[in-house]
Structure formats: structure tokens, C-alpha cells
Amino acid sequence: MKRLATAALAAVLALLAACRDDALLPADPRPSARLVLPPPEAAVPVTSPRNASYSIDARLFPDDHRLEGTLVLEWRNTTGQPQSTLPFHLYWNAFRNTLSTSARGVGRRAAKADDDRAFGFAHVSAVKLQGDGSEVDLTPTLRHVAPDDGNADDRTVMEVTTPAPIPPDATARIHITWTSRIPHGATGRSGWVHDYHFIAQWFPKIGVFWKGAWNAHQFHPTTEFFADYGTYDVRLTLPTGFVVGATGALVERTANGDGTETFRFREEDVHDFAWTASRRFLERSGRFEEPGYPPVDIRLLLQPEHEELADRYIEATRVGLKAYGAWSLPYPWRQITVVDPAWASGSGGMEYPTLITGGTGLWAPLPLHSPETVTVHETGHQFWYLLVGTNEFEEAWLDEGFNRYHDRKSMFGAYGPKGFGVRYFGLSGRSNSGWPVLAPRVAIPRGEDLRALLRETGQVDVMTRRAWEYRTPGAYSFNAYTKPALTLQTLENLVGDETMTRILRTYARRHVFAHPTTEDFIAVVNEVTGADWRWYFDETWFSSGLCDYAVEVANTPPPRPAGFLDGPSGPVPAPSPAPADEDLAEPVVTVIRLGEVRLPVEVEVEFADGRTVRETWDGQYRWTRFRYPRGPKVVRASVDPDHRILLDVQPSNNAWVEDRGQARRAARKWAARWMLWVQAFLEMHTVIG
């Protein structure tokens, strides 16, 4: 009995151990040390325009999910023209009712309300323009506008009008009082679940005057944000006992004597402020110190059940700070806060200035790169979103796409290729829940997990569209993240890693604390490379075409002479043909462009005698053909032999090889392996029945 019980226990433990195989990538204590990077450039020498600075006082009432606040916005008119109408975002009004533009939208971030808890709002009760000792009430001028879709029920953008225009370079001081009901946090990026509060996009925030007009879009399910830079000085009052994390550094903590505490956070040169509070947070800390980089304190607020993942979170943050710092500009702030969101919250995987949210599961085998990928990605947004503040509403690829490109590059450099795993018995819709089962010996090369999306969604939309105008949420994800990432990886392969780094460093330094556009980036590419790459972006970013090259080989036997040949005095009958030499051929290599995207490609042809030739083709017409004189057969031909074009949707047809029996052996191997599953699947039927 004991032996059987021991054997049974051993069996279960062995199975669990086998499923949690971490052997694919042995844990490295310092993945950040594995990164091979150029030395970083000097730290940012400039400050931001600081033209939208906020001083905020807010009080959280967690029991009835309420928040009351007042703010003073100091807005300096940098528009170059007088302004009297000022738009403000009121994002939480997306959750006000079922009539908002977000609630009418689709996708996982749509403000759908499953129950009353999901509703929330931001109600502005007073707006005043403060002068030298005087105050003008702007509240009567307050009106809600819907610049994107004219939805009269949408309250996510408000406008106020000043009695007199604010002259250029003058600073307006605007005092706003508001109250919010905090929505439940299962759907949106903000909200409460149990005692976990994630409070983002929570205060009335002024729009950006950009490209000669106000840019203050409504809140759509897929869109993110856009704001001007400034200094944030925020005092948050909460009941005692909460651990609080926020944008910036904690400069003051005061016990109020009434069962509440006030936390004061301050940060400069940022364009937003988010915070979180929970009694369950574990607090861990680390530090990023690398030669050539300013040191950064890392503060991790962790769910207790993820305690064993603390070091991995912190190390992934270091990887992000180091890699992105080398590829753009070193992170200039003194601290970064990493938040591990509560289980039931939808706040994971988001970026805010000097504060990010991660996300992971109880069982986190290293090859699946969770929490690493999300942590590196969100850390990356401190560069492509914060240091370079692009418009996430209108050109989402400039932050998400650049970031996806760099997060894959960082992850590959620091952690190696990702493994493949499936989680079983988890909760549907929760990607990190369930027991992870890893596939042995399966590694996903850099960028290859993205290529499948290119095949599926590549033709749905042109990439360069405003974020809410894509046909589907999937098309948004694809065009904001995947396509730009693959396009940049392909560009890196075409211009070289060193040049790509120079491009991105130049772009980052030139547009630090600014709001550059796609055209600004293309201009930098052209400048750094000394060539006009406009065609490349026309074929990719401004197109919905797919890229697909293929190659075919015909080892045509040389013709055997028959009939008449030239003789000394006219045609003579051809001599009897000698036996054909089966090793000789007049090979023909045909390269075909199956997709719409036209990129120049190289073609490598390898002959049976070991000789290799490289051809080039501009890819303009649908196909081209390379003929070779009588000689050894072609044994291998490949288009894009260096695998530079990540945009090619069918890489398997990029090479032709002489078949030496591998096809049959590989087919039998995998059919047999599949058969094992079928055998077990059939046997499973004996359980019922």
C-alpha cells in the first residue's frame, strides 16, 4: 500500500515537473547583462516645454467608490495664436452610461457594463479662470463636444470658453472642481476591484494644440491618449493602511489624524499622472545602475501571490531601461514604479509616466516570458510615449509599434527566443490563468509570433489611420503594434543594426518631450541613411498590401542535339547523341512576387558543385527569371536568403531545395507524432462509455 501510494505521489510530482519544464532557457540571474548594446548617449540635456502643469488635491472614498478633487492647471499658450476655447478630456465619462461612444463600440476595452458597478463618471462642478486676485467663473460656458462622431450622448470631452482670448505665451490659471464615481475595474484601464484601486485618466485634462488645431478626441474603445508636458504636484488623501504608488516621487506623507493620510507626489516633464492604492500590495525595490546611464530606483508593488516573481519583474524593468536607453535616450527620471495588478482588474499592461502596470500568473515558467514581456514593453513606453510624446489617438504605431519592435528586440537579446506553451483549466479571457504546459524544443524566433497576424489581418486596413477608424479591434492591434514592429525590424535588417540605432537615437533626441509625426520619423530615416526611403514606407505603412516572394527552380536537362547542325559546307545531320549526363542541367530559377508589396530582394543560388551566386532583383514586376548555362544542377535557391524581410507572409516558399528525402522523413516524423495524440484522444473515449 505504501509503495503504491508513494508511486502515485511520485507520478503526480513527475508529471507536474515535466509540464513545468524550464530547460528551454536556463534562468540567467542577470538577463540585462546579456544584452549586447552600444554605449548610451548622454542623458537628456533639455527639459520639456512644461506648458500644462497641474497641482491636484484629491480624496479617495473607497467604501462608496468616490473620488473628489480640485486642480489648478497652469496652461501656457504655446500655440502662437490667441486661444479662448479650451477642451478637456473627461475619460471616465466613457463609463457614464451605455450611450457613450466607448460603450457603443466593440473590443475588450469597450466600456460595456455587465452590472451597475461598471458605471462611473467624472462630473465637473466648477471651472474658474484665476487671475491676479480675481476669478472668473467659466462654468456657465461648459459644454460637451463630440469632435469624432457627433455623439450627443458622449461626455468624454468638454470645452470651456474664456471671456477674453489668452494671448500667445501667456499663462492661464484654471481651477477645476470635480467629483467622480470610480467604475469597477474589470473592463477599463482604471477602476476598483476589492480594495485595489487603479486611478488613471482620472482628472480633467486639457487637450493638445497640434498641427494648428486643438486635438482632444473622444474616448474610444481602442484609443489611448495624448497630452502636453508639465509638472505634476499631486496630493492624495486616503484612509490609512493603503500602500500607494504613483507617477513621480513621494515627497511628503502626512497623517491627518482623522483616519486618513495624505501622500504628495511630484514629477517634472511628464504628460500624465496615474496612481494606485491597495492594502494587499507587497512592496519590493531594486535599482538600475549601469555605466553611462543615470541610476533609477525601481519600486515594485506586488500582489502577495506573486512574491516569488519580484526579482523577475525588477530585472525585466532593468532590461527595458538599459535596452531602450541605448536605442533612444537614457531614462532621465529618478524612479519608476512597477505595479502588479490585482487578479480581477483590467488595469494590467499599461503605461503611465514613471509608472507601469505588468501582469502575470501564479505559474510563470521562464520560457513563456511572463511577466518579462509586458514589463519590458511597458517600461519601453517610458521612451516611446513619454520621452517622445506622440499622438496615440491618431498615430498609435509611433509608440506602440516602435515599442513592440524594441520589446521583441530586447527580449530576444536578454532572454533568448520565447518558448511555446498552452495554459489549461484557466479562466476564459484570462491569458495568464491556468496551468502552463510547455512544448519541449520549440522556440519562437524574434518577430515570428507577429508574422501570423500579418497573414490574418494585413489586408484589412492601411496602417496609417486614426486608432478608432480601423475596421475591427484586431485591425487596431495589428496596425498599432504588429505591422509597424515588423516593418521596423525589416528596416533594421535592410539598413543594419548600427544605422537603425542611429536613426532612432536621432529621432528621439530631436523630438524629445515633443509630439513628432510619422513624417518626422521618415525625414530622420532619410537624413541618417542619406537615401530616400519614402518608397519603403509607401509600400508598407501607407499600404494594406501583403509581401510575399517565392522561388521556383527547374533543372532543365540540356537539349540533346538532333536534326541538322552546321557543317563545313552546309547543314549536316547531328551525330548520334551520347548518353545523357544526368548531373548536368541548364537551370532556370524563377522568382515570383505573389504579394502587392514591392521590395528589392536578393536571390542566392547554390549549385551542385558548391558554387554560389547572388543575384538582385528590384521586385517591381510580378516575376523575374535567372537562366544558367549548361552545368551542374541547382541544389538550392532562395529569395531573401538573409531573412531580412520579416514582412514576407509566406517565408516557407522563399527557398527551393533539392529533395534528398527530408520531406518524406519529416512528414512521417510529424504524422507519427500527431498520431500519438490521436491514439490517446481515441482512448479517452473509453472514459465515457
Residues between 628 and 687 with contacts to another protein, criterion CB under 8 A: 638, 649-653, 655-659, 662-687
DSSP letters along 195-262, please? TEEEE-S-S-EE-EEETTEEE-----SS-------EEEEEEEEEETT-EEEESSEEEEEEE-SSSEEE
Of 444 and 523, nearer to another protein (C-beta) is 444
Give CA–CA dist 689/686, Å, rounded: 6
Nearer to another protein by Cβ, of 37 and 282: the residue is: 282
- The residues near 671 (Cβ < 8 Å, ≥ 6 apart) are none
C-alpha cell at 71: 486642480
Q: How far apart are CA 461 and CA 175, in angstroms?
A: 42
Q: What's the CA gap between 20 and 366, in Å, rounded?
A: 9
Q: Does 27 bind another protein (CB under 8 A)?
A: no
Strands 208-210 and 213-215, by their bridges, are: antiparallel
Q: With CA atoms as reference, report the closest residue to 595 among 645, 655, 641, 535.
A: 645
Beta bridge partners of 123: 179
Using the rule CB under 8 A, which residue among 273, 313, 324, 343 binds another protein? 343
Q: Is 425 in the site for another protein (CB under 8 A)?
A: yes
Three state DSSP letters for 308-322:
HHHHHHHHHHHHHHH
CB of 357 to another protein, least distance (A): 15
Q: Which of 456, 520, 527, 586 binds another protein (CB under 8 A)?
A: 456
Using the minimum distance from each CB to another protein, give the nearer residue, 208 or 635.
635
> Which neighbouring-strand residues pair with 9?
none
Give the C-alpha separation, 328 to 38, whole Å: 11
Nearest of 379, 455, 454, 453 to residue 411 by alpha carbon = 379
DSSP assignment letter at 343:
T
Half-sphere exposure of 212 toward its Cβ, with a 13 Å CA cutoff? 0
Task: State the maximum Cα–Cα separation within the chain, in Å, rounded to a whole number.
Answer: 121
Between residue 275 and residue 314, which ones bind another protein under the rule CB under 8 A? 280, 303-306
Q: Which stretch binds another protein (CB under 8 A): 6-14, 493-501, 535-543, 557-565?
A: 6-14
Residue 624 CA, chain-centre distance (Å), reads 37
Interacting span for another protein (CB under 8 A) from 15-23, 82-90, 496-504, 609-617: 15-23
Backbone angles phi, psi at 51, to 5 degrees: -95, 0
Residue type, 685: H
Q: Decide if residue 412 touches another protein (CB under 8 A).
A: no
Among 99, 344, 562, 572, binds another protein (CB under 8 A): 344
Q: Is 106 in the site for another protein (CB under 8 A)?
A: no
- Please state the closest distance from residue 239 (CB atom) to another protein, in A: 18
Q: Which stretch in 71-79, 262-270, 316-324, 416-424 sits in contact with another protein by CB under 8 A? A: 416-424
Binding map of another protein across residues 517-546, x = CB under 8 A, - = no contact = ------------------------------
Contact positions with another protein (CB under 8 A) in 115-174: none
Is residue 324 within 8 Å of 32, Cβ to Cβ?
no
Query: Phi and psi at residue 419, in whole multiples of 5°?
Result: -85, 180
334 binds another protein (CB under 8 A): no
**Taking CB under 8 A as the rule, does residue 14 contact another protein?**
yes
For the segment 67-96, give every residue that binds another protein (CB under 8 A). Answer: none
- Asked if residue 23 binds another protein (CB under 8 A), the reply is yes
Query: Residue 381 or residue 409: which is nearer to another protein going by CB?
Result: 409
Residues 381-410 that bind another protein (CB under 8 A): none
**Residues in 610-629 at the binding interface with another protein, rule: CB under 8 A:** none
Rounded Cα–Cα distance for residues 243 and 278 (Å): 5
User: Which CB atom, from 30 or from 664, has the smaller least distance to another protein?
Assistant: 664
Give CA–CA dist 251/242, Å, rounded.
17
CB of 658 to another protein, least distance (A): 7
CB of 162 to another protein, least distance (A): 47
Q: E strands along 110-170, which residues?
A: 121-130, 135-137, 143-144, 157-166
Site string for another protein, 435-454 (x = CB under 8 A): x-xxxxxxxxx--xx-xx--
225 binds another protein, rule: CB under 8 A: no
First-residue to last-residue Cα distance in the chain: 30
Count of residues binding another protein (CB under 8 A)?
93
Which parts of 597-670 are beta strand (E)? 601-607, 612-617, 623-627, 631-632, 634-639, 655-657
- List CB contacts of 576: < 8 A, sequence separation 6 or more: none
3-state class (DSSP) for residue 532: coil
Of the residues 362, 546, 554, 613, which one makes contact with another protein according to CB under 8 A: 362
Q: Checking DSSP bridges between strand 549-556 and strand 584-593, what pairing results, if any?
A: antiparallel
Using the minimum distance from each CB to another protein, give the nearer residue, 542 or 674.
Answer: 674
Closer CB to another protein, residue 61 or residue 435? 435
**Interface of this chain with another protein, residues 558 to 587, rule: CB under 8 A:** none
Q: How far is the CB of 367 from another protein (least distance, A)?
A: 12
Q: Which of 55, 151, 260, 433 binds another protein (CB under 8 A)?
A: 433
Does residue 361 touch another protein according to CB under 8 A? yes
Report the nearest approach of another protein to the CB of residue 418 (Å). 9
Candidate segments 16-24, 67-75, 317-325, 602-610, binder of another protein by CB under 8 A: 16-24
For residues 545 and 651, which CB has a smaller minimum distance to another protein in the complex?
Answer: 651
Residues 6+ away with beta carbon under 8 Å from 1: none
Select from 296, 342, 475, 486 the one that contacts another protein (CB under 8 A).
342
Which of the ranges 203-211, 391-399, 422-430, 519-527 carries the binding residues for another protein, by CB under 8 A? 422-430
Q: What is the DSSP string of 430-471?
A: -TT-SEEEEEEEEEE-TTHHHHHHHHHHTTTS-SSS-GGGSS
How many C-alpha atoms does 383 have within 13 Å on its Cβ side? 31
Among 259, 424, 573, 612, binds another protein (CB under 8 A): 424
Q: Is residue 185 a contact point for another protein (CB under 8 A)?
A: no
By CB under 8 A, tell whether 15 contacts another protein: yes
